[in-house]
Amino acid sequence: MQSISELLGDDLFEGRAPGTRGGDLAEIYLKSLFKFMDLKPGVNGSYFQPFVMKGFSNSGVTVTANGTQLNYIDDVVGTFTVEEESINLDGEAVFVGFGITTSIWEWDDYKDVDVKDKIVITRINDPGMYNANIFEGGTLTYFGRWTYHIEEAARRGAAGILLIHTDQTAGYDWNVVKNSWTGEELYINSDLQNNLKFRGWIKESSLRKILDAKSISLDDLYEGTHSKDFQPIDLGFNIHIAGKNNFRDVTVRNVVAEIPGQTKERIVLSAHIDHLGMDPFKEGDNIYNGAIDNGTAVGAMMVVAKVLKEFQDDLHYSVTILGCNAEESGLLGSKYYVQNTGRDNIIANINFESTPVWDKSKSIMGIGARFSDFEEMIKDLAQKNNLEYSTFSLSNQGLFYRSDQFSFARYGIPSVWISAGEDEISGDKNYTEFWGKDYHTVKDEFDPEWELGGMKQTIQYALLLIDQINKSRSPPEWKSDLPFPMEE
């Protein structure tokens, strides 16, 4: 398991960006592992499930708001997602608060205001961050995720969206945004069938300067967003975006294998194989190796698959092993898989994400387990093995919605991200610190000194969980009142 992370995190793989040499190598490597382990091909007799994405990379971008030119990269980042060589977008700026519309909390920031062909400016996170009595309080809901805000703006016919960034509301600093949004951005076709031409971020401090010039208080705008009575506000200026646009079709592949059980009903194990690739403009080390995100998780998944293969005759449910692609681009590979597979026989998804590699933990976590019977199952296993059940301290960052388990959840399949907890026996908090320091940076590199205690626990409890589901013949079911929408 350590060697898998070491190889995937090696410079040879160039950060494993989809559609690059390194990304192709990761696909081939996982396929070779499946064949070596004598796993059955998982998609129509093949280990590969190819799918086509649209890749967009912009250059020479200028963004002007209220006559003030913003510094691209330092003030604003984003992607023009139309197959045109020149970027020329102009639209009225409208502040739409949190940009949330949901019947779950009877909340509608857009009201009946028409934002078609306009550029909406929206906060991220959700109102619960400021009022513990609404939404889920300090726990970020799906409606607070940047992906949701973009989806809603697209549904409303907006021509562009600028998400207001602060470290507090995003849960990460501007460097993470830059690293994630300044290279080629990838989309599957179903996400582009709308009027939204530009998707991007703006620094709060930069927006504040623009509004100050119009004698508009951003703090006053914010204050109004905490009420259901909020109405979108025309800011009285246009935003103009110009530049050059390169686009291409990018074919990548999910890598899929099967371990047949006694029934065709199946549990899907998943872990994404991609990462951020290389930054050609960065001096020094410019490879985002992603040894933990997500090399260690792929390693954990493969060890679980190896053990299950050895005990295949005891499996009641079949098991699918899914190496997802393009997770860093918005869970695209897992989304494509769920949309284009026979999902009616999937009873559960167990996902591995950025598996911890340090000392053993005092607890086990099930991110997203609280939405289904997974929580009681994992709590029971922890108690039987003298471990605690813990919740992620970073619940304010909506991590359940940020990895591949959510693609399954959106389509009605109970899912969970399983991991050793943050509370290491040594008292250290390496896993928590990883998310604050090394996540989506070039510092996420393989270290031969890793103790691997947390990784071994994650593998152990994934196996125990699968064993429990197999023996009980009782798949997990959803609880009521889910705080996210499901797809048909």
SS3 31: helix
Alpha helices by DSSP H, 183-326: 204-213, 218-224, 297-310
pTM: 0.90
Closest CA to 295 of 125, 138, 452, 426: 452
- As a whole number of Å, the end-to-end CA separation of the chain is 37
Q: For residue 469, is pLDDT > 70?
A: yes
For 261-283, give the DSSP string.
-SEEEEEEEEEE----EE-TTSS
Average pLDDT over residues 140-169: 95
State residue 310's pLDDT score: 97
Which pLDDT band, with edges at 50, 70 and 90, does 1 fall under? Answer: low
Q: Tens digit of pLDDT for each residue in 165-212?
A: 999 999 889 988 987 888 889 999 889 999 999 999 999 999 999 999
Q: Tens digit of pLDDT for each residue in 81-133?
A: 999 999 999 999 999 999 999 999 999 999 999 999 999 999 999 999 999 99
Q: Tens digit of pLDDT for each residue in 47-58?
A: 999 999 999 999
Backbone angles phi and psi of 91, in degrees to 5:
-155, 155
CATH number of 55-247: 3.50.30.30
Residue-range domain boundaries for the chain: 2-36+260-472, 55-247
Omega before 294 within 30 of 0, i.e. cis? yes
State residue 190's pLDDT score: 85
- Mean pLDDT of the chain, nearest integer: 95
State residue 355's pLDDT score: 98
Query: Interhelix angle for 374-384 vs 453-472, to 10°?
Result: 120
State residue 426's pLDDT score: 95
Q: Tens digit of pLDDT for each residue in 378-414?
A: 999 999 999 999 999 988 788 999 999 999 999 999 9
CATH number of 2-36+260-472: 3.40.630.10
Alpha helices by DSSP H, 318-477: 332-339, 374-384, 405-410, 430-437, 453-472
